[in-house]
Amino acid sequence: MSGPTIGVIGADVPRQLILAAGATPVHLSGAWNGKVSQEASELLGACDAVAARVLDAVLSGAHDELVGLIVCNDSMAHLRIFYVLRVLAGRCRFPFPVHLLDAPRGGGKHRNRFVARQYERLTNFAAACTGTPVDTIPLTESATREALLGRTLEHVRTRRRAHTLTGTAALRAYAAATCRAPEEAVIEIEESLGRPAAPGTPFPDSSSPAPPNGLQGTVPVVMTGSSHPDPTVYETLEQAGFLVVGEDHDTGDSAWIGDYVDSGDVIPCQDSLRDAFHRLAKQHAQRPPAAARSLSSERTRHLLEVVEQTNAAGVVALVRDLDDGPVWDLPGQREALAASQRWLVAVEQIPADGIREATSALINQLQTQEALS
């Protein structure tokens, strides 16, 4: 990847603003597997293992090529990471500056104004990191780039709803979208799904009928619970005959990718920029509810919508130990799903090195559930 890159921890960054500053936003997502160093464990305390692996990667120098790092206050784990990095930045532990983005969800006049101001500060930080000032011209150019990626990902979502694309492939597409420049991500995703006949040719009409049985012999399920930093679990589930057709976490269909606003003005104008920040804040307020920062009732309503849209047979959940939020959603979700004649199968309190055993236990429960259906 050519050009400067700015790291992102969390899910609240409008990618358009980073692109407008001349950088590629790169999401640092961690992994399901891998050792957690003693240093990361001691610095973070009792914390989700995936978050600890993200911190480990930063402290090990794996991301020293970044020109800046943005940490979102979208979970307690990420907020802890920021405070640790802020202290270590003062000790020159890594070569880039760190910025906290505090963008609460929920909307409303005062909250939207606060978030818009946060986006203005974020843009100034990104511009300082790259040396590229942001005005309406690069903002419009970055909107065009992000729109192209958004159209490609909409095709991914359409195929998933039609049960003609695996969740593994979809998660890899989202991963590419969050760590590549938009043009590079589009090429990678198109190649993985079947490239159009010629460069610039759109994918086939998403309204075209899908094969009547989709991926035959599979049981369609929706994933909830903890976010998935990589496709490890999806791949294992799908090899066992369960097709992940959707999810409600921020590394899948709920990822904030492909959205943008047009500045509405080709003349550099501070008022136009402020208007763009406010419109992005309103977009942010309409995003799907996140486990760590939303009411369980909101999460349940959204999950039911995803289940209906994807025509899933049921819902599966894996919840990591010390992951704040998802475990509180499960009772309400289970009750609401039962009312619509659907089931929820869950494995909770997954230890740092326990994802393989947890996935096996989940598959055993699913197979039992299917035998009873």
pLDDT at 252: 93
* Strands 242-247 vs 314-320: parallel, antiparallel or unpaired: unpaired
How confident is the model over 236-266, as pLDDT tens digits?
999 999 999 999 999 999 999 999 998 655 4
Residues 6 and 70 sit within 8 Å (Cβ to Cβ): yes
Which of 65-79, 185-199, 302-316, 329-343 shows the lowest mean pLDDT across its residues? 185-199
The strand pair at 98-101 and 219-225 is best described as unpaired
pTM: 0.92
Q: Considering only residues 243 and 293, tell me which one the structure prediction assigns the higher pLDDT.
A: 243
pLDDT at 38: 95
**Cα separation, 319 vs 174, whole angstroms:** 21
Q: What is the DSSP letter of 217?
A: T
Query: Do the bridges between strand 98-101 and strand 68-72 make them parallel or antiparallel, or are there none, so unpaired?
Result: parallel
Cβ–Cβ under 8 Å, residues 307 and 337: yes
Hey, CA dihedral for 131, 132, 133, 139, is it positive or negative? Answer: negative
Measured between alpha carbons, how far apart are the two ends of the chain, in Å? Answer: 49
Class of domain 5-141+262-285: alpha beta
Q: What is the pLDDT of residue 195?
A: 54
How high does pLDDT run on average in the chain?
Answer: 91
Q: What's the rounded Cα separation, in Å, for the pair 142 and 129?
A: 17
pLDDT digits over 283-292, tens only? 999 999 987 7
Phi-psi region of 34 (alpha: psi -120 to 50; beta: other; left: phi over 0): left
How do strand 5-9 and strand 24-27 relate by DSSP bridges? parallel
Q: At what angle do helices 136-161 and 167-179 cross, to 10 degrees?
A: 170
pLDDT at 31: 97
Look at 115-119, 217-221, 325-329, 348-352 and tell me which has the smallest mean pLDDT.
325-329
Predicted confidence at residue 281, as pLDDT, reads 96
Do 285 and 174 meet the contact criterion of CB atoms below 8 Å apart? no
What is the Cα–Cα distance from 15 to 61, expressed in whole angstroms?
Answer: 24
Note whether 17 and 144 are within 8 A (CB): no
Q: Where are the alpha helices (DSSP H) in the chain?
A: 15-20, 38-44, 49-59, 76-89, 109-130, 136-161, 167-179, 182-193, 232-239, 270-285, 296-310, 326-339, 355-372
Per-residue pLDDT tens digits for 109-165: 999 999 999 999 999 999 999 999 999 999 999 999 999 999 999 999 999 999 999
Q: How far apart are CA 31 and CA 50, in angstroms?
A: 6
pLDDT band for position 270 (50/70/90)? low
Query: Other CB atoms closer than 10 Å to residue 312's CB: what's the count?
Result: 23
**Inter-residue contact 182 to 19 (CB < 8 Å):** yes
Confidence band, pLDDT 50/70/90 cuts, at residue 372: confident
Q: How would residue 196 be classed by pLDDT, with cut points 50, 70 and 90? A: very low
